[in-house]
Structure 1
Amino acid sequence: MRTRGTRGVGAAVAALLLLTAMCGCRVQEAGAGAGGAPGAGTDGRHRSPAGTQVPSSRSPGGRSPADGRPGTAPGPARGRTAAPARVLWSRGDTGRDVRELQARLRQIAWLSGAPTGTYGELTERAVRGFQARRGLPATGRTDTVTWQRLLGMTHEPGTWELYPMGGQPAGAPDARCLTGRVLCIDKTTRTLRWMIGGRTISTMAVRFGTQYTPTREGVFHIYWKSRHHVSTLYHSPMPYAMFFSGGQAVHYSSDFAARGYAGGSHGCVNVRDESAIAQVFAQVRTGDKVVVHW
């Protein structure tokens, strides 16, 4: 009877040990799975045999279950690429921002022409070259990455870097220009307004005399008009000349049209837009007022 009892107890113990071993294997399977292994939950956490959830952690050796790389935190899913940089300006765009882009490209010799405010072929080519030189996608379009690189290499352009050939906005007219027929000339903004009765008819960029031959300031009147005038002192052409103070006149200047503000006059008010000055010349009368002010 004792032998049988001993055998019965032994069999029970063996059965209990077998059951414990089987449970241990199941727990190990539930805890070892990652990324779709048996027992892994759909939210990235492992489930215990009883169905309760416990946070996942790094496996031995510092390997992250999410990306399988030693010592790294879970990263973005593989195969994804970064979103492309947002395009700010591209061919066909116009405005002051495009003018600033062109001025900055000109500072570092990627653009030779003066800023125009229009994103054309030359600007696109300059941007493409700038991008290629710096290992950026050479699209010719100015995106946020390209713009930040350009900002870091250049300075804020001044007014005459933005408008070296004219085209700048005019300031408010002087109070003396608000009555009558007036050529209202502003030395601060380098602009001329042709005004009648306080209303601006046309506006154009102008250039003045140099330090040693300055343009006089004050209120004057047109005393002589000469369509094909040539300077007797400097032997230079002064087409559409409207004289207002001695030998000083408002007239078209081919030098201003070619060089912009890199040059200066001998005291006259130069206009670079021949079409604009031709129209004004046709309308201005002898005796009309001229106001030159800061």
Structure 2
Amino acid sequence: MTSWRSRTAPLLFVLAASLALGPVASAASPGGDPDPLVPGVAGGGRAEYPMDTPDQVLPPLHDVEGGVPVPEPEEEVDELVEYLPRSAVGAACTVRAGIHQRRVERLLGLPVDGKQSAADCRAIRAFQVKEKIKPAVGYAGPVTWARAELLAARKNLDPARRCPVKTYAVACVDLDRQLMWVRKGKKVTYAVVNMRSGRPGYATRTGWHTVYWRHKDHWSSIYDTPMPYAQFFSGGQAFHAVYGQLATPGGSRGCVNLSNGNARKLWDVLRKGDRVYIWGKRPGS
């Protein structure tokens, strides 16, 4: 059996190359924006491994129960580094509307017009300072939006009552808000957390699903990519951890990505046969 170090050698080589290239390789705005989004803090937003696991379409092979354990992250990822247009890095307060401008305006109680005013920038920047999002320059990016949605959901979990209330456990996945939680009857057994679903062309499938196979140390044999705490519910789509920042400009390739800590907690909540209900659409997908 090959060790995880030898299996990850090509991946680490790619990572080293990206580090050498600097922020150019960090992230690109959806739609080929000539002013791409990059981490607003040097060294932020980088992953130990590829952050996306392509949807395998077909279920994984089930003869890999043993094997080499998937390694734990070597250090915690800073989830609070915001992505900014490259031209806005170093600005005191951005004049450009963020990619989630309207959503952040709504969540912060600002006039919802999708335009960045001086008042908007001050209010968004104040929220970022309070929540320790950096840099606090008033840009309504993916990290600011994700944090605002999570805080709102903690106060009002399911305002549209989209999550079915059943006597059995249901993992509820809200693609519109990029949130998930688990409930059984009226009791929430897994508190709401941020997640990341499929990008354009790799949509996370909506509707009812069932957790049909779980593999704590799963490694994609097709794409040679780690999928810690994988819980498959639809073909190759699964809940699983990623080794990198979760709130990014792009989505996954079909799976429901979670932070390593949240994926580990979900592993102890769900069981084979539990139901999953997914609705909505990832913004921009």
Q: How high is the TM-score relative to the length of structure 1?
A: 0.45
Identify, as 1 or 2, the structure richer in helix: 1
**Relative contact order, CA 8 A, sep 6+: which one is greater?**
2
Larger Rg: 1
Q: How high is the TM-score relative to the length of structure 2?
A: 0.47
